[in-house]
Amino acid sequence: MSQNTSETNPKPEVLIIGAGIAGLALAILLEQIDVPYHIYERASEVKPLGSAMSFTGGIFPALEQIGVYEELRQASKAYTHIDFLTANLKKMGIFSVEEDYVTSGYQTLVFCRPRIYEILLKRVPEHKISFKKKVVRTEEKDDKVHIHCSDGTSYTGDILIGADGAYSEVRKSMYKTMDDKGILPKEDLEDFAVNYTTIVGVASSSDYEKYPKLKDDYSSFSQIIYGDGSNCFVISLPDNQISWGFGVQLAISNLKEMDYQNAEWAPEVKDTTLDRYRDFPCPIGGTMGEIFDATPKHLISKVALEEKMFQTCHYGRSVLLGDAWHKFHPAGGQGAQHALQDAVCLANCIYGMNDTSLESIDAAFKEFYRQRYTRNFEKFHYSAYFAKILNGQKLMERLIRKVFLKLITHLTPKSQTRKYFGYRPQVAWLPLAENRGKGPVFPQEYRKGNKA
């Protein structure tokens, strides 16, 4: 990247590592305010792997501001509740999200994971993304940050964004520097907790006689709790697609003890787990085996579900967002949405910088941390708790699940819903989206030049 100084141009040059949801969203935002940036992605292409994702009114106002919301809505289906079922499809209870719509004014949407990538990716100019760029080392010198890639290339900028997932090379390099100086919290040196694995896939079928719910305007969302502590979800999606996944609790919780390498949604499933469930009924029709057979093999993935909330998200000219900072269990449906909220808040803080000095960058990163740490911390623990309700096999976890499902149809925590949806970070330089719901909206946290 070209040289840039605070004397000639107050806008920082930004190196974004990772072309995932968080990295692409940040790039779109920086594009709007003419902040020079480039994305470096280690993969040769963005692969259409994974399963269903869900977003709520906590991120839709920002997506509406940047012109993404309507296209995502067209590629999604809304759902009003989640059915909790036994293995023989007996209803145990429901988890309603209708109050979310009343409060925020946005329906809760579910869509196929690759769709959000497609929608975001096409909004980033092709020449601003370089694939097959695996970062192996970062360093700061001469008032710049430098990245070094495995192919021998190096790049220079003012700010380095680690949006490169749970095994972030940016985080590893940043933490090594801090650890060598004795300033890294000991908690940040601890391994991920890996309590669960999951197998997911996306099937396709136009057999409306067998799967009549595919014709419905609303998504059918079912969560099956099996007697052995495992669980399965089945979700009807647009375009005659059916998302499914199995979660299994592990007996060990340390990745180093596992004879299993996290594949990050790699299609390498050679597992007998699915065979155990082939003859079980599917909540939208037929058997689970028929759903498996209708899923292209390259769209089936198995991953270990790491969980960790790191304490440190920035140092010097480097900052982390999304999974690189906080890896949630997907049971709570919060990971991708909070990565997008990270991107919005970080873009706002960069927009508010006075210059490209280290002092200005540090102030922006501290403000970003202030806005996001508590929010991410709360949802990290919420996701971990919800995972225990769905997957827990221990006696206490089974008891909690039983009580939760017995009471859930009678509980309407409106105050909690209003608190959650009151927080809707929006883009600082665009007109705010109107409040469509009946709930309050918290004041936007934005400080020009990081001053109140």
What tens digit of pLDDT does each residue of 272-286 get?
A: 778 888 999 999 999
In whole angstroms, give the CA distance from residue 94 to residue 407: 10
Domain count, the chain: 1
Structure tokens at 85: 């079922």
3-state secondary structure of 245: strand
CATH of the domain at 99: 3.50.50.60
In whole angstroms, give the CA distance from residue 54 to residue 338: 12
Is the Cα torsion angle 55, 57, 60, 64 positive or negative in sign?
A: positive
**Contacts of residue 251, Cβ cutoff 8 Å, sequence gap at least 6:** none
Identify whether 331 is part of a domain: yes
325 closest CA partner among 73, 23, 6? 23
Structure tokens at 74: 């067209």
In whole angstroms, give the CA distance from residue 67 to residue 293: 37
Phi, psi of 296 (to 5 degrees): -55, 135
pLDDT of residue 51: 81
274 closest CA partner among 285, 288, 260? 288
Using CA atoms, how far residue 262 sits from 201, 269, 275, 302, 424, in Å, is 17, 12, 22, 8, 33
3-state secondary structure of 224: strand
Instruction: Write down the pTM of the prediction.
Output: 0.90
Helix or strand run (H / E) with residue 69: helix 69-74
CA dihedral 338, 341, 343, 347 (to 10 degrees): -160
Identify whether 335 is part of a domain: yes
Identify whether 253 is part of a domain: no
Residues of the chain predicted below pLDDT 70:
1-9, 47-50, 229, 249-271, 332, 391-393, 407-416, 446-452
**Contacts of residue 270, Cβ cutoff 8 Å, sequence gap at least 6:** none
Neighbours of 147 (CB within 10 A): 23
| Edge-to-edge strand list for the sheet holding 77-78 | 52-55, 109-112, 77-78
Identify whether 247 is part of a domain: no
Identify whether 164 is part of a domain: yes
Helices (runs of H) and strands (runs of E) counted in the chain: 11, 20
**Rg (Cα) of the chain, in Å, rounded?**
22
Identify whether 326 is part of a domain: yes
Is the Cα torsion angle 172, 176, 179, 184 positive or negative in sign?
A: negative
Residue 41's domain spans which residues?
A: 14-191+307-450
Q: Give the mean pLDDT of the chain.
A: 86
pLDDT of residue 330: 80
pLDDT of residue 409: 55
**For residue 124, what is the DSSP state?**
S
Identify whether 208 is part of a domain: no
Identify whether 112 is part of a domain: yes
CB contact burial 50-72 (16+ within 10 A = b; e otherwise): bbbbbbbbbbbbbbbbbebbebb
Neighbours of 226 (CB within 10 A): 17
